[in-house]
Amino acid sequence: MNLAAARFPWLVLGIVAVVLGVAIAWVDTRPGWDDTGITAFALAGAAGLVAILGLRFWFAAILVVVPIAAAYLPHPGMVHLLAPLFALAGAAAGAIMRRAFGTTAA
């Protein structure tokens, strides 16, 4: 299957990235949620998915990580340093996979 033919517009992908980031931030800020590893890999997976679908990897990482960074603004900590790294790693992996299949970024 040629993924270039199924490439989505960048605006739709941007909205998807923000929605995924908001969903991850919502789950992560729940009082009973205490699983940082799942949150980190969810950020990487969400950014990777949007990058595979055609959004530039750095833009995908920013859009996915901004909601969780905003959710933790009142309580600064390591989340502001580590969350962007996981999102960037996932988005870079997605961009590499997209390039391996021969498609271009939106």
Residue with tokens 């993924």: 3
Provide the pLDDT confidence category of residue 1 given band limits of 50, 70 and 90: very low
Please check whether residue 47 is in contact with residue 17, taking contact to mean a CB–CB distance below 8 angstroms: yes
Query: Which positions ≥6 away from 4 have C-beta within 8 Å?
Result: 102, 103, 104
pLDDT at residue number 18: 96
pTM confidence score: 0.83
Q: Please write the tens of the pLDDT for every residue from 28-68.
A: 989 888 888 899 999 999 999 999 988 999 999 999 999 99
State the alpha helices, DSSP H only, in the chain.
10-28, 36-53, 57-71, 79-100
